[in-house]
Structure formats: C-alpha cells, structure tokens
Structure 1
C-alpha cells in the first residue's frame, strides 16, 4: 500500500524531509510517525495512516516532497486482507479501533485524512513524548496556532506539570472579539498563507525573545557617491546596484567582528550556538505579504555579486517563485524601508536569530564640521537584539562599527 504526502494546507506546495523515523521491516500503526516535515519553519510529523510493515522508504532527509507524492510503501497486516477462513471469535475483535497494547491515551484520534493529523510540534517536544511513552498524535496542543508544548506532553503522560516558565505565566486566555457588526457594516477576508506564516512567526518571536532596540545613524554621503559612480558598470553586467547591497556587505563584515550577533541561544542546554557562516535574510515587500529570502555567504562575496543575487531573489519573491530552502538558514536579518519612508522603526527579531537591522530613509541634513554646516546624507538605522545574550553596550559598539564601514566605503573592500 502506498503512503502519499497529503495536502499541506493553503499555499504550501512542498515540504522538506528533515527526519525519517522508520526503516524497512519496521511495523507501523496508523498513528505511527514516519516522517518529520518542515514547512514555513514549522516542523510536523506525518503518520503512517495504515497498519503493517514498511516495505520501502522512498523519502530521504533533505529531499523536497509534494502533496500526492508516494513517500512510503507498507504491506498491510494479514488480518486487514480478507482471509480464507476467519474465525467467528476473531471477527468481532478486529472491528474496534486500534490498539491492543499498550493502552491508548484518553480520546482516540478522529477518523479522517492524514492531513488532519499532521502534528505541529517542535523536535524537542517530540523527543520528550518518546521518552515519556506518549503518542504525540493523541495530544491536544494548547500553544500558539495549536502547537503542542512540553506541558501538553507531560499532562498527557499524567505527570505533574513543572513550575510555569515566564512565557507560560504571561500567556492568558484570548478574549473573544466583539460583534463589530453592531456598529456598522463589516466584511471578512481570509488571511493568505504568507500572512498566516507571518502571524505564527511574529507571535513566536514575541513570546520567546526579550527585545531591545538601539538607534543610530550613518553619514552615507560618500557611499552614495560610490554607488552612483559604479552603477553604470553594474548595469552593464545586468546588475542593479542598490544601497542595500552595500549595507548587506557592511553587516556581514560587522557580524564577523561581533560574532555574538550571528549566534543563537539554546537555553535548555545553557549554550550559545555560534555560526561560522553569514547568511542574511532580507525582508522583501511583495503584493502577497512580507517574504524573507536568504542571501548566503555574504561575507565571502563582493558587492556586485550580492546585488545580483539580491535582485534575483527579490524578483522571485514578488513572483512567488521562492523555494522553501531559499527562505531558510538565515543567521541575521535586514529590513530596509528606506525606499518607502520613515525616520525609524523597531524591527522584530526573527527567532531563533538574536538580532535584526532596520534601515530607514536617508535624508540630507546640515552637519557642523567645525567651521560651517555642510549638507550630508544621513541614514538612520535601528538594531533590535535579544537582551538575554546581547548587552546594550555591545549593541552600541556593533552599530558604531557598522556606521564606520558605511561612512568609509573603501573599508568594505579592505576588510572583506
């Protein structure tokens, strides 16, 4: 019997296999998780959907799979196939839903398709469920967007919940919305898949990261002159040379000088995970919502190469042609709203990153040089960071280093 990948939800065309949980010869129940899948940076488990023995595993870790694709072949159990002479005593025993041993937790899963049983749970939560002998597919999630938390698993195992963390204490039941129609006409419009993903990501980030924002500015008068001087040469190579490309290069070099900003926290292990690569997520405004493609190894590329890749990824984002892997793996993010306007804003850290840079519109302002006021092009920017790892003084030094690179474009070549 073929096990196919079910529909992954509105707007989700594919998923990446991040774990294969069974091998050939393994016996599976309908609720046995067989694959770990990742979409929109959420990891979920795919149940077998049938009882029997695994004959062939067709999905591999790292492979992109699509709805309808066969990922597993299972030989159904003998009793599931009509036999020559079933005993009258056996027939009634085969009718009730699974499973003889061990006893199942309280409520059985509702009958339905596999897509109804895709399990929204982090790898650490699934690991805890296995350690406690809990079938995670039968646990009701109480987290954001129905995600299963460690407390849900412990509760299902009959254990006393641990003392609530600050995050859990802060969570309160969401009050119902009022009836807005009482005050005038209203209309409802379904969220797009991009907006739903943004909702989940921002809610998760806000609940996970204690954020602080530091504001600064850089004199980019010289940088803009360099950009204009070399823009025709870039255009001759089919590249649109923007200020963002220079900013990304400056950010990458600053991250090399301040590696803590290019890290992630593992509070449970009490460790800081430093990344020896610089992959920058760049927020792109599209008609479908905010998308964040990733420009990889920015520290090892020249400004022309960065500009070329950024242009290609931005075009794919606007045309909704970005592959899942092109939006994964960022170690730091940049959001540039200078093309739209504004004097400053507080970007939200994209967890599990620990910092994000926001760039606002540059303006010509009078700056005193000791003898007279000179017109200078000043670019305001803001750095939001995870205060659990980064202190205010470190954030200020990071911003000053970044400003120094932007104010002296030659450093982008010398330090790179």
Structure 2
C-alpha cells in the first residue's frame, strides 16, 4: 500500500492561503482519479481540487471554514501502490487545481466524460449511491456534488438527497438534476400544521458569506457614511430606452437603466474626481483614478458579489450594456474571475424592482462613493398648473464623509440628475 498527500495548491499569484469551503469526501471514502475532493475560496473565486490518484481517503487536513496555507497538507489518500515513503502531490510538480467550469445553458445538459458515464455509482459511507436505496428514517449523508451543480440545484429548488446519481463514487452530475426535473419529480414534503416550532439551527459563516460579513464590517467600522437621496424624473430616459431597445441589433444586449447611469456617472466624475477615488486610511492617502472602473453589485444564489466594468469612460451605451450582461451571467454561474471581481473605483448598487423607495447603501471599501438605485414608479408630479403622471426614481447614494463633503456629494448627484432627466446630454461630447 502507498500513500499520497495532497497539499493546498497555489491558487493565485500572491495568495498565501485559502478558505476550505466544501469537502466532497470524508475519511474512509473511496476516490478515483480526477474526482473532485474539495473546494477552496480566495477573493470570492471558488476553485475545485481533484484527486490525482485512485484510493481511499485516510485523513482530512481541516474543517469547512478553516483557512489553510498554500503547500500545507490538505488530505491523504491510501492507494494500492507499493512504496516506501509517502508520496506528496505538490503544486510545483503536478497541477491539482481545476477552475470551476461554466454551467451549461438552460435546457442543455453538461456532457459527462466517458469515464463518468461508464462508472456505476458506489456506496459511500455505508449508504448506496442512489437516493432511492437510502433510508429516509435514518441519518442521510450529504450528497456528493460540485459547487456548480449545487448552485444549479438551488436555482431550481431541488433537494440533492432525492436525485439519483450517475457520476463516479455516487457523485451527482448536472444531467442527473435535469433528468430529475424532466420527470416532473417534486421534493418530498408534508403539510405542516399550526404547531409551535422550537428548533434552532446554527450556521457557520463560510466562503462567500463570510467574505461579505468581513467586508461589510470593515466598511461600517471604518467609513463615516453620509447618504444623500434625490428623486429623478426618468420619463424621458425611459421613452428613449424603449425606442433604442426596439431598434437594437440582435447581437446587442437589452438596455436597462444601468448603462445610462454609468455614462452619466462618467461625465459627473470628470467634474468631481474626488468621488472616483480610493482611500488608504492606514496610510492616509487618497488615490484619484483617471480610469472609471464601475463595480455593479449583483445578488447571486451564493451571496453578494461586485463584478467590475473596467474603463467605463471608454465605453459607449451599448458596450456598457453588453459588459454588464456578460459579467452578471458570470457572477450568477460562479465563473467570474478574480480580476472581474476586483479593482473597482466606484460602485453602483441596484435591486431593480425590489429597490424600494430609499436605501442606505454601504460603501465598497476602500472606495469613497456608492450610487444606490431605487425602483422606478409612476408618481403624480406638480408641473406648475396640475399634477401629471411621471416615471420617478430615487438615487440613494452614500459617500465617505472623510473625503467627500456634503455639498460635493449633493453637487455630484445633482449633475447625474440633470444628465438622466435630459438624456440627450449623455450623448453630447463635453
């Protein structure tokens, strides 16, 4: 018998450690070559780690939520090979990092490898690999599935414990879920009565959710926020947007309000560069940025992420729309890269129809401003002689009061208001 030790690989330049966000195996489980055994996260990017050998897991190097240093032992696998000293899989000699694969488009199954298709499910932890053979009255093992497959299941409301697996060692594949949905299968449930509920559940913050908590705590504890709210008459812009969408080319992304706001923001920061800045509060240095890298806060099933539209100052309306759509899709499917999720100089936060009337957005540290977009609603507006229906939207924007004074914040938003209420100005070169 031999033994392989898989070490935490180098998951990115300058990264010294990564958070363990998911185990796909436990001690005693059989594994096969190329089977994903763990998932780690750094800078909001999740990386799957496959096994380079076939064997049995004999030791795990941490629990979910632990931070593990690069090159530290991650897990050990006992193999059928004979040998003396235990073998070590090192990032320097053998790649053990597999980047997350993009999810297949809706209605299209992911093509499994020949090995995955021909290998029957195996029993894991004493339970048969197919859910139909498990006892629902006893303890149920956590189903084996990659992060992208778990995301796909959550998006479709599928309990993985009810899905028959066809992958190696009982691992559930995307096509297993698609077949489950195609059969019209529904999760097992019981109709609850009117009874008191006394159960509690403790959930450890791990992965992206822990990153979000740390980021929000940092922003709230270090940045004295000032929030400024102004209402915008969006009637003319909505008419223009509707016309442009009707005439758009097939390859062009549909225009939302965000590309117009992005272009208005670019014009406004050219007049007030202090708003398009980052602040190193430890060093006491404000860095003004000529480039306008706009972060667009996006809600995903895993939590809040901020993909970045780089060099918005060099993009037109349609280019901004296409890049926003591309990044939003990458964020939803968990395929956005580290570079696409970092480096913003100012952020836009929008919840669309759920935006409410007013919000108090939290600044994305170390930036000094965030533009909060609220919902558009028809309201009666007095035009001097009568009330007329207008499409109104509030901007609820926050600023770092150490860097941006209240009057400068108001001037900045008022400039954006003028541009959005007279959208032709957005297209006129200054």
Which TM-score applies when normalising by structure 2? 0.57
* 1:100-111 superposed matches below 5 A: none
Q: Label 1:189 to 1:223 Cα distance change in 2 as closer, same or farther (>3 A).
A: same
Which TM-score applies when normalising by structure 1? 0.58
Report deviation, 1:339.
2.5
**Residues 1:39 and 2:43 aligned together:** yes
| Kept after mapping to 2: 8 A contact 1:359/1:380 | yes
| Kept after mapping to 2: 8 A contact 1:214/1:396 | yes
Q: Label 1:373 to 1:242 Cα distance change in 2 as closer, same or farther (>3 A).
A: same
Q: 2:353 aligns with which of 313, 326, 339?
A: 339
Unaligned regions of 5+ residues in structure 1, if any? 9-13, 20-36, 51-66, 73-182
CA distance in 1, matches of 2:380, 2:221: 41
Q: Residue by residue, what CA displacement relative to the aligned partner does 1:336-393 show, whole Å, maximum 9, x if unpaired?
A: 1232241110000011001101111011111111222221111101111111011111
CA distance in 1, matches of 2:15, 2:420: 39
* Secondary structure, aligned partner of 1:399: helix
**Residues 1:248 and 2:262 aligned together:** yes
Q: 2:368 aligns with which of 354, 360, 365?
A: 354
More helix by share: 1
* Secondary structure, aligned partner of 2:354: coil
CA distance in 1, matches of 2:395, 2:226: 14
CA distance in 2, matches of 1:275, 1:4: 42
Q: Label 1:234 to 1:190 Cα distance change in 2 as closer, same or farther (>3 A).
A: farther
CA distance in 1, matches of 2:326, 2:424: 26
Q: Residue by residue, what CA displacement relative to the aligned partner does 1:111-130 show, whole Å, maximum 9, x if unpaired?
A: xxxxxxxxxxxxxxxxxxxx
Q: 1:16 aligns with which of 13, 16, 22?
A: 13
Report deviation, 1:405.
0.8
- How many matched pairs? 265
CA distance in 2, matches of 1:49, 1:184: 42
Q: Residue by residue, what CA displacement relative to the aligned partner does 1:183-233 show, whole Å, maximum 9, x if unpaired?
A: 921123343511111011111111211111111111110000010001033
CA distance in 1, matches of 2:241, 2:413: 21
Deviates more, 1:270-279 or 1:221-230: 270-279
Q: Which residue of 1 aligns with 2:244?
A: 230
Q: 1:383 aligns with which of 393, 397, 403?
A: 397
Q: Which residue of 2 aligns with 1:306?
A: 320
| Kept after mapping to 1: 8 A contact 2:8/2:70 | no
CA distance in 1, matches of 2:425, 2:379: 24
| Kept after mapping to 2: 8 A contact 1:16/1:38 | no
* Secondary structure, aligned partner of 1:339: helix
CA distance in 2, matches of 1:195, 1:45: 18
Q: Residue by residue, what CA displacement relative to the aligned partner does 1:158-200 show, whole Å, maximum 9, x if unpaired?
A: xxxxxxxxxxxxxxxxxxxxxxxxx921123343511111011
| Kept after mapping to 1: 8 A contact 2:219/2:363 | yes
CA distance in 2, matches of 1:212, 1:287: 30
